[in-house]
Structures are given as structure tokens and as C-alpha cells.
């Protein structure tokens, strides 16, 4: 089954905690601190893989977690880094942050990689907190939490040329005669449900052709298979519009042309800007030439290049492909409006990380909050005076106490950090 959209949760590994240990040697009575650092948590990394075609796996497996870093150990032993988790996706997959709806990365080339969630940093061991005034720090830094993100994966195939047209006009047949692809072909509508790709080998070069489901009137409102497959030709450079000029199903080829373009316009006006080559198909069964002449004149006025072909007998296929190659080679990509991308920098700016917020809650308790504060708080050993002092000094330095004072904090009031409450005493 072809799946082109999925939503998954990714969680990078937590950093290992630093160790707060002391050397214990038989003849060294008061061994110094020897706690090693925790290892960093593993990253979540996406990799684009040419061998994959669908996001189906992600429909069933929705949660991806990288390994946590190992905790630091005594004798200054570092914890091991958590293993990164590589998630392989088809080329053309876009990674979108669900919360903001912003694009994080478009993996458009084979082997492109992208770190979507960095592992938490390992905490420092107590060795690192030793100083001339603090000989025996009985605390260490906790490892940073892993990042958890809900991401949307959206696949838009990458092909050079897109085939477009009503159902049953011969799009898949055309793909099958000029590439090695073996799409399903049948004389009923909507034979093609999933997009097919094929490679056209021509004059020592090649290009990729994409065949999608047929479009009918009202597709933009969901008729038939709707327009949801059009996204797979959004990134092509050139379109081949296949039209049944034999009118074997009783429709008028000029009306077909107008109708499809009208639906394209409704879906995405940018598709109208792509060169559109007309493949007038089923010439082998044309009985009445008058409508064909009318069609030719109409296309001349429209300024479209028309190739009269028969996918059944191979008539005109070579010329069509040669012209398509020429259009590809002379194609100039229109300038795109820049799109707003997900911004890791602003998400994790250091200022933001250090900032301490304070407020008075409805129970009259002064609350302090902050990302780094929370990290240091988790690293604090409340049975150890120097560890608690380290936390307190940090809060003062970041202006946390000043903020609370401006809100009315005075001697004897309760201050709360996470789930820990203490009484404030003025120095």
C-alpha cells in the first residue's frame, strides 16, 4: 500500500546523570570526588533512502526513541553515549513539526540526513564542581531530558516529468512503453491508484516520469480520487497532458483539456506555470479526423505543443520524449517565495534557556520556573549544604529572587520550585 502522509512521535535519548562519588581507598581517609560525566543521549536522525517508496511503515510504528546516555560512574568513568536512532524515509519526504506546522527539513536527495531531535546532554560528574572552596561537592549535574516531538512526514515524490489527464486516456500505457515500469493497465477508470515512477533512458541521459491517478470534473471538491495525488507532480518541472483524441469515451478532447486545467488551477496555480506538453493519444483508433483538426487549431491558439501519438503502437513516442527532454534541459526554475522554516535556534536560544520566571500563585506561594533552573534543581542534593547553596546562588544570579521581591516576597514567605517548597529568609 502506498502511504504518503504519517504522523509519528520522536524522542531523543536523555543524557546520563553525572556521578557524585568519592574515592574510597584503604589508606586515603578522605578521598576526593571522583564522579564521572554522564554520556549524551542518542539523536533522532532521518535519512533519505532511494529504495523506499512509501511511508506505510509509519502507519503501524508511531513512536521512535533513541537510547539514553549512560550515567557517569565512579573513578571518573564517563557514561557511554546513547546510540542514535536512524529513521529511513523515502526521498521526497518532508519533516514537519506538528505543533508549529513549520517545515523542519525537505529530504530531497538520496542519503540526505537530518537531526530532528538532539539527545540530551550528559550531566557533569562531581569532579567538575571541585574548587578551592568546595573540596568535596556532594552533588553532580543531572543529564538533560531528551526532546520529544510530534512530527508529520509528508511524501511528495520527486520526478522530472508528470503525466496528467482523465482516467483511461492511456497515461500508464505511455509510462509502460517509454520506461521499464510495469504499471497496471486496464480499460476502466481509476486503474492507477498509487503513483508510479519510471525512468526514461534517452540520448545517454535519463529523466524520471511520474504517472498518477486520473482526474475528473469536480476533483478539487473530492470527486473520483480527488486531487490528493496531484501533490506528486507538484515538484516536477514539466507536465505531459495525455488526452484521448479518439474520443473513445464520447467526450470532447478540447473540453477535457479545459476541464483538467481548470482543476489544476483550483488545486495550485503554480502547476499552470509549468510547461505543459500535449500528448494526443489513441491516434490508432481515430475514425473521424474533423475533431482532431479542430483540436489542433485550438492548441495552436493556446500556444501548446501537440504530439500525436499512440501508446498502443508506439507512434510518435520517440518524438514526444525527445521534446520532453529538450523542455527539461531548457527549463528555468521559477523563483519560489521563501517559506518559513522551523527554527531550532529560536526554539532553544540560550537566553531563553537561562531565563527564570517568577509569579505569585493563587495559594500565595511564590513560584520560580526556568529550563536551566529545572535542570540544576534536579541535580541538587538537598541534604548537602553546598549543593543547595549552588542552586540558591544560581537563582540569585539569574535575578529570580529580585523578580519575586518585586512581586512582594518577604521574609517567611514560601517559595516553590517544581514540587519543592522552602521558606524564604532574608540574608
Tell me which residues touch Mg ion (CB under 5 A): 171-172, 191-192
Between 116 and 213, CB nearer to Mg ion: 213
Q: What is the dihedral of CA 294, 295, 301, 305, to 10 degrees?
A: -140
Q: Tell me which of 47, 197, 312, 317 binds ligand GTP, using CB under 6 A.
A: 312
Sequence-ordered list of residues with C-beta below 8 angstroms from that of 31, at least 6 positions apart, any chain? 22, 23, 24, 25
Residue 269 Cβ vs ligand GTP, minimum distance, rounded to whole Å: 23
What's the closest the beta carbon of residue 315 comes to ligand GTP, in angstroms? 8
What's the rounded Cα separation, in Å, for the pair 216 and 251? Answer: 12
168 binds, among Mg ion, ligand GTP, none (CB under 5 to 8 A by kind): ligand GTP
Task: Using alpha carbons, select from 63, 84, 61 the residue that is nearest to residue 13.
Answer: 84
Please, which residues bridge with residue 198 across strands? 209
Instruction: From the list ligand GTP, Mg ion, none, pick the one residue 124 interacts with, judged by a Cβ distance below 5 to 8 Å according to partner type.
Output: none
Closest by CA position to 41, among listed 150, 117, 141, 140: 117
What is 85-126 written as a DSSP string? EEEEEETTEEEEETTT--EEEEE-STT-EEEEEPPPPPPPPG
Strands 414-417 and 366-369: parallel
How many amino acids of this chain bind ligand GTP (CB under 6 A)? 24
In the stretch 185-214, what mask flags binding to ligand GTP with x, by CB under 6 A? xxx-xxxx--------------------xx
Which of 85/219 has CB closer to Mg ion? Answer: 219
Q: What does the alpha-carbon distance between residue 118 and residue 344 come to, in Å, rounded to a whole number?
A: 10
Q: Is 173 in the site for ligand GTP (CB under 6 A)?
A: yes
Task: Residue 285: name its binding partner from ligand GTP, Mg ion, none (Cβ under 5 to 8 Å by kind).
Answer: ligand GTP
CB distance 109 to 48 below 8 Å:
yes
With CB under 5 to 8 Å by kind, the binding choice for 282 among Mg ion, ligand GTP, none is ligand GTP
Query: Least CB distance from residue 245 to ligand GTP, whole Å?
Result: 10
Binding partner at 187 among Mg ion, ligand GTP, none, C-beta below 5 to 8 Å by kind: ligand GTP
> CB under 5 to 8 A by kind: which of ligand GTP, Mg ion, none does 228 bind?
none
Nearer to ligand GTP, 70 or 172 (CB): 172
* 172 near ligand GTP (CB under 6 A): yes
Q: Cα–Cα distances in Å, from 25 out to 22, 28, 75, 94, 134?
A: 9, 5, 11, 56, 21
The minimum distance between CB 173 and Mg ion, in angstroms, equals: 8
Q: Do residues 199 and 122 lie in contact, with contact meaning Cβ atoms separated by under 8 Å? A: no
- Contact pattern for ligand GTP over residues 261 through 290, marking x by CB under 6 A: --------------------xx-xx-----
- Of 39 and 183, nearer to Mg ion (C-beta) is 183
Element (H, E) at 414: strand 414-417
147 binds ligand GTP, rule: CB under 6 A:
no
CB 307 within 8 A of CB 282: no
Give least dist CB 329 to ligand GTP, A. 27
Please list the residues that pair with 382 across neighbouring strands: none
CA atoms of 32 and 28, how far apart (whole Å): 9
Pick from 20, 55, 159, 169 the residue near ligand GTP by CB under 6 A.
169
Cα(392)–Cα(410) distance, integer angstroms: 16
Nearest distance from residue 253's CB to ligand GTP, in Å?
Answer: 14
Binding site for ligand GTP (CB under 6 A): 165, 167-173, 185-187, 189-192, 213-214, 281-282, 284-285, 310-312
Amino acid at each position: 500500500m502506498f502511504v504518503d502522509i504519517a504522523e509519528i512521535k520522536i524522542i531523543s535519548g536523555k543524557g546520563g546523570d553525572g556521578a557524585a562519588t568519592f574515592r574510597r581507598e584503604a589508606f586515603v581517609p578522605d578521598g576526593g570526588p571522583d564522579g564521572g560525566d554522564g554520556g549524551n543521549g542518542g539523536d533522532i536522525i532521518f535519512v533519505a533512502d532511494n529504495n523506499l517508496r512509501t511511508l506505510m511503515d509509519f502507519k503501524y510504528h508511531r513512536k521512535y526513541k533513541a537510547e539514553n546516555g549512560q550515567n557517569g560512574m565512579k573513578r571518573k568513568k564517563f557514561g557511554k553515549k546513547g546510540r542514535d536512532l536512524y529513521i529511513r524515509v523515502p526521498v521526497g519526504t518532508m519533516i514537519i513539526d506538528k505543533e508549529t506546522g513549520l517545515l523542519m527539513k525537505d529530504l530531497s536527495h538520496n542519503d540526505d540526513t537530518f537531526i530532528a531531535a538532539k539527545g540530551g546532554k550528559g550531566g557533569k560528574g562531581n569532579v567538575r564542581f571541585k574548587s578551592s572552596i568546595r573540596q568535596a561537592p556532594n552533588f553532580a549535574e543531572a543529564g538533560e531530558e531528551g526532546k520529544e516531538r510530534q512530527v508529520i512526514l509528508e511524501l511528495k515524490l520527486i520526478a522530472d516529468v508528470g503525466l496528467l489527464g482523465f482516467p483511461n486516456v492511456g497515461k500508464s500505457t505511455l509510462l509502460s512503453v517509454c520506461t521499464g515500469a510495469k504499471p497496471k493497465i486496464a480499460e476502466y477508470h481509476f486503474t492507477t491508484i498509487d503513483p508510479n515512477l519510471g525512468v526514461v533512458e534517452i540520448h545517454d541521459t535519463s529523466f524520471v516520469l511520474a504517472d498518477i491517478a486520473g482526474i475528473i470534473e469536480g476533483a478539487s471538491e473530492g470527486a473520483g480520487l480527488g486531487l490528493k495525488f496531484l501533490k506528486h507532480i507538484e515538484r516536477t518541472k514539466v507536465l505531459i497532458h495525455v488526452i484521448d483524441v479518439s474520443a473513445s469515451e464520447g467526450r470532447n478532447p478540447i473540453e477535457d483539456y479545459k476541464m483538467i486545467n481548470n482543476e489544476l488551477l483550483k488545486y495550485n496555480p503554480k502547476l499552470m506555470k509549468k510547461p505543459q506538453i500535449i500528448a494526443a493519444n489513441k491516434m490508432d483508433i481515430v475514425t473521424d479526423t474533423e475533431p482532431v483538426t479542430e483540436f489542433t487549431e485550438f492548441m495552436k491558439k493556446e500556444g501548446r505543443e501537440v504530439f500525436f501519438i499512440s501508446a498502443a503502437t508506439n507512434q510518435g513516442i520517440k518524438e514526444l520524449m525527445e521534446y520532453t527532454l529538450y523542455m527539461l534541459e531548457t527549463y528555468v526554475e521559477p523563483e519560489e517565495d521563501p517559506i518559513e522554516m522551523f527554527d531550532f535556534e529560536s526554539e532553544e536560544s540560550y537566553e531563553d534557556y537561562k531565563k527564570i520566571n517568577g509569579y505569585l500563585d493563587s495559594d500565595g506561594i511564590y513560584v520560580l520556573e526556568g529550563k536551566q533552573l529545572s535542570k540544576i534543581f534536579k541535580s541538587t542534593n538537598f541534604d548537602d549544604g553546598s549543593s543547595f547553596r549552588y542552586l540558591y546562588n544560581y537563582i540569585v544570579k539569574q535575578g529570580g529572587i529580585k523578580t519575586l521581591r518585586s512581586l512582594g516576597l518577604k521574609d517567611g514567605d514560601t517559595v516553590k520550585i517544581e514540587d519543592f517548597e522552602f521558606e524564604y529568609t532574608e540574608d
